[in-house]
């Protein structure tokens, strides 16, 4: 006869007591690991929700960014086109030029060195581009007895520090003229015709369409020839430029400050401010779109934070509840196992007495009772894990958000449970078992 035989015989004999204890342990294991699985499933679901939110946010922001970028590109292109359509809108006049005179006659009477344009082009100026030097005068065309505006132009002077841009105005080659509408209409001129101006023969290169402005009585010619005719060699009376669309609200102030440093004393004015205001409005719209994008990002971030906080709070509540409920159930289970063990000890008093009388030590009695508790815990743990597995499969969709139990619980935890649960059952049965081992056999036998 060995103690384990005694243990198993007794278990087989008092099945109900043993099974009650085992079921109690099994329920505790089921509830404990079930709670862990539920919490883990909720945790994973929370992460999935937030990840989904992040993906959506990313997509929304990416779309917004793409839209904004596209809009901005279109906007910038529209501004560029509109600016180009307007032509030059910055005019640089010589030092000392009365602007009233310019406004009255349409050009400056004073001149400045042509070299100024090169100086400007070789500087690192950023607020303007498309520099065009010109010399303008209103003259009497002696051969035709007409008053015309004569403009000498050369090609745009490229900025040294920038990539060359497509010119707004093509240069007029030497010996050629470009003629305004009223002039070519009145004189019946067409490209290729030869015409005399100030005693010099020129070929009509191009005839402009009607513009309804002073351009219709304007002749454009090569700057050098113009300077020669007007006896203004090396002189110009204005430099035209196009302000860049990166300018800020105080763009004119910035332009004046920058040019003033390079060409001190020159007078700078801006034309076409209405169009620029529209451009500014568009720039502002672009900025608003960017701001909206940032705002959307912030809102989404805030939503995420709120959602995360709500889910964390919910998870926290669940964890708090589990942290109270699970230990309570575990304690209750331990108490029940303890009570059942105590009942078992009480039922086996005569047996304990006779065993002790036969010379069985209290230590062996203790081991027998603890072994019984160990097997009870082991069976309970196994049953609990089986229940858990069955429950996990059955309620995977309903309660575990579709996560498999194997994903929610670490197999090592389950393995540890198979060791710790029986040990806990031993702890629960410790006091009754100790009581059994220390019972006075004489006392038992006297009363039996």
Contacting positions for other proteins (CB under 8 A): 1-3, 5-6, 9-10, 12-14, 350-351, 353-364, 440-442, 445-446, 448
Tell me how many degrees the CA angle 260-264-266 measures, rounded to the nearest 5: 80
**Minimum distance between the CB of residue 356 and other proteins, rounded to whole angstroms?**
7
CA distance 433 to 22: 17
335 or 357: CB nearest other proteins: 357
DSSP 101-113: HHHHHSS-SS-EE
DSSP 4-16: HHHHHHHHHHTHH
- Which of 238, 245, 441 is CA-nearest to residue 353? 441
**Minimum distance between the CB of residue 370 and other proteins, rounded to whole angstroms?**
15
**Minimum distance between the CB of residue 22 and other proteins, rounded to whole angstroms?**
18
Polymer length of the chain = 448
**Minimum distance between the CB of residue 25 and other proteins, rounded to whole angstroms?**
22
Retrieve residue 192's tokens: 């290729």
264 or 363: CB nearest other proteins: 363
CA distance 102 to 104: 5
146 or 435: CB nearest other proteins: 435
DSSP 217: G
52 or 443: CB nearest other proteins: 443
**Minimum distance between the CB of residue 11 and other proteins, rounded to whole angstroms?**
9
- Which ranges in 231-347 belong to alpha helices (H)? 251-262, 273-347
The answer to whether the beta carbons of residues 286 and 67 sit under 8 Å apart is no
Retrieve residue 271's tokens: 């034309």
**Minimum distance between the CB of residue 353 and other proteins, rounded to whole angstroms?**
7
6 or 325: CB nearest other proteins: 6
For tokens 């009772």, the residue is 369
**Minimum distance between the CB of residue 359 and other proteins, rounded to whole angstroms?**
3
Beta bridge mates, 128:
243
64 or 376: CB nearest other proteins: 376
12 or 188: CB nearest other proteins: 12
The answer to whether the beta carbons of residues 135 and 236 sit under 8 Å apart is yes
């Amino acid at each position: 006869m060995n103690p384990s035989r005694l243990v198993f015989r007794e278990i087989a004999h008092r099945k109900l007591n043993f099974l009650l204890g085992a079921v109690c342990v099994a329920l505790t294991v089921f509830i404990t690991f079930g709670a862990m699985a539920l919490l883990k499933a909720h945790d994973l679901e929370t992460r999935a929700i937030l990840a989904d939110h992040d993906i959506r946010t990313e997509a929304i922001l990416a779309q917004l960014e793409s839209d904004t970028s596209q809009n901005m590109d279109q906007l910038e292109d529209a501004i560029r086109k509109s600016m180009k359509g307007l032509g030059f809108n910055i005019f640089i006049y010589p030092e000392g030029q009365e602007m009233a005179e310019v406004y009255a006659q349409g050009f400056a009477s004073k001149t400045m060195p042509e070299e100024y344009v090169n100086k400007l082009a070789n500087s690192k100026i950023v607020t303007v581009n498309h520099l065009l030097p010109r010399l303008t005068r209103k003259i009497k065309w002696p051969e035709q007895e007409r008053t015309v505006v004569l403009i000498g132009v050369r090609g745009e002077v490229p900025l040294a520090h920038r990539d060359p841009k497509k010119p707004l105005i093509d240069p007029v080659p030497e010996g050629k003229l470009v003629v305004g509408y009223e002039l070519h209409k009145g004189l019946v001129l067409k490209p290729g015709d030869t015409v005399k101006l100030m005693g010099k023969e020129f070929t009509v290169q191009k005839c402009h369409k009607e513009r309804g402005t002073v351009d219709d009585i304007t002749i454009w010619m090569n700057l050098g020839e113009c300077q020669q005719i007007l006896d203004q060699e090396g002189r110009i009376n204005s430099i035209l430029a196009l302000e860049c669309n990166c300018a800020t609200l105080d763009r004119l102030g910035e332009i004046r400050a920058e040019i003033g440093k390079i060409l001190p004393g020159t007078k700078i004015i801006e034309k076409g401010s209405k169009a620029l205001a529209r451009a500014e409005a568009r720039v502002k719209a672009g900025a608003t779109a960017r701001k909206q994008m940032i705002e959307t990002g912030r809102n989404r971030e805030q939503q995420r934070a709120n959602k995360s906080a709500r889910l964390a709070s919910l998870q926290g509540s669940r964890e708090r509840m589990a942290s109270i409920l699970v230990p309570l159930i575990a304690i209750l289970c331990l108490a029940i196992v303890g009570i059942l063990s105590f009942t078992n000890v009480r039922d086996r008093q005569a047996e304990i007495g006779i065993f002790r009388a036969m010379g069985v030590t209290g230590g062996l009695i203790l081991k027998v009772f603890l072994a019984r508790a160990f097997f009870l815990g082991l069976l309970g743990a196994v049953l609990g894990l089986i229940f858990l597995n069955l429950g996990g499969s059955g309620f995977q969709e309903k309660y575990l958000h579709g996560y498999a139990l194997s994903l929610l619980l670490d197999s090592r935890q389950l393995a540890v449970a198979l060791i710790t649960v029986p040990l806990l059952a031993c702890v629960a049965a410790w006091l009754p078992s100790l009581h059994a081992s220390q019972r006075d056999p004489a006392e038992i036998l006297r009363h039996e």
